[in-house]
Structure 1
Amino acid sequence: MMTRREIGIGLATATLLPFPAHAARRFSVRDHGARGDGATLDTDAVNAAIEAASAAGGGTVVFPAGRYLCFSIRLKSRVTLLLEKGAVIEAADPTRHPGRYDLAEEGIDQLYQDYGHSHWRNSLIWGDGVEDVAILGPGLIHGAGLTRNGPGARWKAQTGERPLSMKDMPAKSIDELEPAAVAMRGQGNKAIALRRGRNIRLSGFAMLKCGHFAILATGTQALTITDLVIDTDRDGIDLDCVKGALVERCRVNTPNDDAIVVKASYALGEAIPAEDIVIRHCAVSGYDLGTMLDGTRGTTMRLAPDRDRPTGRIKLGTESNGGYRNVLVEDCTFDHCRGLALETVDGGILENVTARRLKMRDITTAPIFLRIGDRRRGPAGTGIGAIRGVLIEDVEAVGIDHRYAASIAGLPGHPAERVTLRNIRLTYDGGGTAADAALAPPEVPAAYPEPSMFGTLPSWGLFIRHAGDITIDGLTLATTKPDARPPFRVEDAPGLKVTRTPLWRG
């Protein structure tokens, strides 16, 4: 018989769980043998508790305070994982602990996307086709034993694989970042991986040092991610080919890679759009690893692994086979990181995208970057994508790297179309030279898309090339020290409309 205290806890939990029916049955991992001492492997006990909840028709698997050392945890439908205060799920390290992560799926053609995107089971927590699943805090997921590495795509063209900033990197350094697939057997390189799930809720917990991806959701529908704090060594939240996703009130620090990123890869064997996505009230940053969580917000790291400055941004791309539509980014902050990037280089169409009310500080590349590219990493017949119907408004950015103006860059014959910049206020560091003003940025159509792909730009405020029907309404530009370049450079932009822009000289 439940005590009054247990009944009270059950009732309180029921009001907080996204799936209240799960509250009726609670399964403590300790009742299934978990020690939570940080030394004993608790993988079997945790999976037994999940199996018990699933066999009962659903329930809540509870992690009381403690440190639970685990290899792969396998999610089941209609199960909630509840990490109570003081609970930590720690990723075991196969080089130190007896065991291994579940092996990556076989039979997946890792041709157009890298290893991390192509597999899900080689993760700390994974679910394939699960429905009505939640992972809730306030505990911590610590990916201590995960690896951030993994081999790249097996694409034959071998163009646009890596940023141009990596062109002089020694082969040995690249091999360390991209080991052979055989070296990945038994290793885990994601904290949470979801494939083709539905009705998934992730809320209220923290994540630290989580490998290639803290969260990878591929082909998932009705996904809600709220109130997470993520401080990790590569990607934070990746929404790949998802439909109907909300990311809200999350703080994501990723100095080495993207913080919140929407993709449309070929990982599921077909081109699937990412659509109906809202990202709001989130904070992204590129502080030194771990220093967002501990509050020190360090800025000692000078370069990310791609040899550009720290990353940590919101981005659409790079994998873009299926394209993106109906995406809203609003009320977000960017600190000590790269700016907003909207990219399609693998044939997909980027349309009906709105970004508004963004505040940026200490921006390490361009504050706004739109790019159509011709990488075409996809099957035969893959064409060149399109950008159309983008609204970016009410953006304020300060402390911007002087080399990289806000950019809208299409290709000859493939312009970015119907883009509106409204009420944008950008303050750059300044310092560009007269020699910089004479530069002619290369087209580099097949290159990996990054603001640095063009080198230092010949204008310090805005660069537009190969774009049609662009509207600029209320663009205010400034520099903190003199810059010898003009504020604007526009090439091949028919239908350009400019209003309320003080520095403009049309």
Structure 2
Amino acid sequence: MKFSVLFTICSFFYVVGFGQTYYNVIDYGAKRDSSIVATEAIKNAIEKAFEAGGGTVYFPAGKYLTGPIHLKSNITLFIDAGAELYFSDNFDHYLPMVPSRWEGTMVTNFSPFIYAYEAENIAIIGRGTLNGNGKKWWAYSEVHVKNSPESRWQKEFHKHNKEVLHPDLPGWVERGFLRPPFIQPMYCKNVRIEGVTIKNSPFWTINPEFCDNVTVDGVTINNPPSPNTDGINPESCSNVHIANCHISVGDDCITIKSGKDRSGRKEARPAENYTITNCTMLAGHGGVVIGSEMSGDVKKITISNCVFDGTDRGIRIKTARGRGGVVEDIRVSNVVMRNIKEQAIVLDMQYAKTVKEPVSDRTPRFRNIHLSNITAQGKQAGYLNGLEEMPIEEISFNDLVMDTELGFDIKEAKNISFNNVLINAAKGSAIKAQQVKDLQVRGLRTSEVFTAPILTLDNVQNVFITNTFPMATGSIFLKLQGADTEAVMLRANNLAKVKVPVSMSNEVKENAVVND
């Protein structure tokens, strides 16, 4: 009897809390059997808590059918174990449209499923589930309506976005309409999302915009193969902490962005001071991705202690002419990648096909990016592709073990260094560089099987290769091409096992190589 009373008292304090007022949605008319749409009941509970200065809106075990939830300052949503918020797929429930951001462009759009605007001290916590019921939304991603009558949702969207459609959202105008993100706080401070499971998002899943001090901890995101269902996309935020998350989605797992083209440069708010750690990523186009919407800059980012298993790419930084903005001060360390379908590491400034143009605020920049203590297995070790007018610069790779079909392919870059790296490329060179200046390779090791030259350099200048120990018996160590190749120095390399230390094409000057 005493134990029963004690258990009851402990349970009471678990639900009610010490000094914390809880607002049970059941008391405001919600039904835990999803027999009614609980949007109004949840709204009333939030309003009551807000009027009291703040509190926790509590969802006990059960299934709740709801439309959009709009958070206010000092409100916590507590979705308890066994509780599921099942979001309606009736598009009308997400009207009226609200200020939003869609792939880096400021728009007025359907309400996000969970939305906050200029709020502070908000949270979504618990061991329950948020189910976006996204299948109907996904069908509208690829609907081509150019020769079809406009739906009332398109008409509503066009009415609110006359100034942004054609210049800022090319291609999307001809589709059904823009799906809303799942969770989108905008201009908020002190945001926490912890413990919950999120699935079947209609579009991007967790998408803070212009927020300060954001924490996403211990969250599980499961989206099936589906269009643009990224996992966590903090955009133009500061002081973001993502940890202990498990993500498997239809697009990129974690993506860092800061706005697109004209709209992004107009807002001019960077993504900065992010830490991403102790996360696992399974299905997804990329493990951790920066861009391509980076027009407001991306700065001071650390990514550590993560596992990518089965993503298309691992670390991917992408942009294109027209974006503008700079990506700089990026650190990646202690990452394991397995079953990578394309490249383990990508730095691509030609994500979209463009032609050379004068340097301006439309010109993007990648610089001061450093990756270390990475093991990877998959198709290609790395792909770096800069611009002729703005090369990628100040990139280092330290302590890598890459077991891939292809090695590194580098174009239009300068000040690139490899230090203590093992690159086993079954079908290509360990490092292939074209139009690269100031390349340093220290401590390169390889396996015994190499069909291509271990290093292939084409129109490169100021190259220093030292302390390498290739094991590929019978292969070419260094192949030089291009009339502009010069100042290539080799020092203290153990080339006893290779068949040909240096091979030069006819256009390479005789004095291009110094073997010290």
Normalising by the residue count of structure 1, what TM-score does the alignment of the two structures yield?
Answer: 0.74
Q: 2:282 aligns with which of 281, 285, 293?
A: 285
Equivalence for 2:257: 263
Equivalence for 1:243: 238
Q: CA deviation at 1:119?
A: 5.3
One-letter code aligned to 2:29:
G
1:88/1:496 CA distance change after superposition, 3 Å = farther
Q: CA deviation at 1:38?
A: 2.7
Q: 1:426 aligns with which of 380, 384, 402?
A: 402
- Which deviates more, 410-419 or 217-226? 410-419
Alignment of 1:311 onto 2:285? yes
Alignment of 1:101 onto 2:94? yes
User: Is the 8 Å Cα contact of residues 36 and 42 (structure 1) preserved in structure 2?
Assistant: no
1:71/1:63 CA distance change after superposition, 3 Å = same
CA distance in 1 between counterparts of 2:44 and 2:439 reads 57
Secondary structure (helix, strand or coil) at the match of 1:30 reads helix
Q: CA deviation at 1:211?
A: 1.7
CA distance in 1 between counterparts of 2:325 and 2:427 reads 29
Alignment of 1:80 onto 2:69? no
CA distance in 2 between counterparts of 1:411 and 1:323 reads 17
CA distance in 2 between counterparts of 1:27 and 1:251 reads 30
Which string of whole-angstrom CA distances, capped at 9 and with x for unpartnered residues, describes residues 117-140 of structure 1?
A: 745752211111111001002001
1:196/1:349 CA distance change after superposition, 3 Å = same
Equivalence for 1:331: 305
CA distance in 2 between counterparts of 1:91 and 1:477 reads 53
Alignment of 1:391 onto 2:366? no
Q: CA deviation at 1:486?
A: 3.6
Q: 1:199 aligns with which of 187, 190, 194?
A: 190
Which string of whole-angstrom CA distances, capped at 9 and with x for unpartnered residues, describes residues 357-384 of structure 1?
A: 100000011111112348699xx95331
> Which of structures 1 and 2 has the larger relative contact order (alpha carbons within 8 angstroms, sep 6+)?
1
1:222/1:51 CA distance change after superposition, 3 Å = same
One-letter code aligned to 2:363:
I
**What does residue range 406-417 of structure 1 map to in structure 2 within 5 Å?**
406-417=382-393
User: Is the 8 Å Cα contact of residues 221 and 245 (structure 1) preserved in structure 2?
Assistant: yes
Which string of whole-angstrom CA distances, capped at 9 and with x for unpartnered residues, describes residues 104-156 of structure 1?
A: 336x797xx467x7457522111111110010020011111462455898454
Q: CA deviation at 1:488?
A: 4.0
One-letter code aligned to 2:392:
A
One-letter code aligned to 1:278:
T
**What does residue range 113-152 of structure 1 map to in structure 2 within 5 Å?**
113=103, 118=107, 122-145=111-134, 147-148=137-138, 149-150=140-141
Q: CA deviation at 1:12?
A: 4.5
Equivalence for 1:47: 43
Secondary structure (helix, strand or coil) at the match of 1:49 reads helix
1:387/1:477 CA distance change after superposition, 3 Å = farther
CA distance in 1 between counterparts of 2:411 and 2:119 reads 47
CA distance in 1 between counterparts of 2:291 and 2:272 reads 13
Equivalence for 2:344: 367
CA distance in 2 between counterparts of 1:442 and 1:469 reads 13
One-letter code aligned to 1:64:
P
User: Is the 8 Å Cα contact of residues 421 and 471 (structure 1) preserved in structure 2?
Assistant: no
Q: CA deviation at 1:4?
A: 6.8
1:324/1:463 CA distance change after superposition, 3 Å = farther
Q: CA deviation at 1:328?
A: 0.2
Gaps of 5+ in 2: 145-163, 413-425, 471-476, 479-489, 491-516
CA distance in 2 between counterparts of 1:87 and 1:279 reads 28
1:429/1:39 CA distance change after superposition, 3 Å = farther
One-letter code aligned to 1:104:
M
Which string of whole-angstrom CA distances, capped at 9 and with x for unpartnered residues, describes residues 7-37 of structure 1?
A: 634655799xxxx8xx611000111011021
Secondary structure (helix, strand or coil) at the match of 1:237 reads coil
1:276/1:464 CA distance change after superposition, 3 Å = farther
- Which deviates more, 366-375 or 331-340? 366-375
One-letter code aligned to 2:80:
E
CA distance in 1 between counterparts of 2:131 and 2:466 reads 50
User: Is the 8 Å Cα contact of residues 405 and 463 (structure 1) preserved in structure 2?
Assistant: no
One-letter code aligned to 1:414:
M
One-letter code aligned to 1:372:
M
- Corresponding residue pairs, total: 420
Secondary structure (helix, strand or coil) at the match of 1:382 reads coil
What is the Cα-based RMSD across aligned positions, in Å?
A: 3.6
Which is greater in Rg? Answer: 2
1:491/1:91 CA distance change after superposition, 3 Å = farther
Alignment of 1:274 onto 2:251? no
User: Is the 8 Å Cα contact of residues 120 and 195 (structure 1) preserved in structure 2?
Assistant: no
Alignment of 1:219 onto 2:190? no
Which string of whole-angstrom CA distances, capped at 9 and with x for unpartnered residues, describes residues 51-71 of structure 1?
A: 111111000111000111111
One-letter code aligned to 1:371:
D
Equivalence for 1:357: 334
User: Is the 8 Å Cα contact of residues 190 and 215 (structure 1) preserved in structure 2?
Assistant: yes
Secondary structure (helix, strand or coil) at the match of 2:234 reads strand
Secondary structure (helix, strand or coil) at the match of 2:292 reads strand
User: Is the 8 Å Cα contact of residues 416 and 467 (structure 1) preserved in structure 2?
Assistant: no
Which string of whole-angstrom CA distances, capped at 9 and with x for unpartnered residues, describes residues 323-357 of structure 1?
A: 21100000111111112112243111111100001
One-letter code aligned to 1:265:
G
1:248/1:32 CA distance change after superposition, 3 Å = same
Q: Comparing both structures, which one devotes a greater share of its residues to strand?
A: 2
How many percent of aligned residue pairs carry the same amino acid? Answer: 23
Q: CA deviation at 1:477?
A: 5.0
CA distance in 1 between counterparts of 2:14 and 2:461 reads 60
Secondary structure (helix, strand or coil) at the match of 2:44 reads helix
Alignment of 1:252 onto 2:218? no
User: Is the 8 Å Cα contact of residues 427 and 451 (structure 2) preserved in structure 1?
Assistant: no
One-letter code aligned to 1:392:
L
Secondary structure (helix, strand or coil) at the match of 1:329 reads strand
Secondary structure (helix, strand or coil) at the match of 1:319 reads coil
Equivalence for 1:8: 10
- Which deviates more, 71-80 or 465-474? 465-474
One-letter code aligned to 1:388:
R
CA distance in 1 between counterparts of 2:253 and 2:455 reads 29
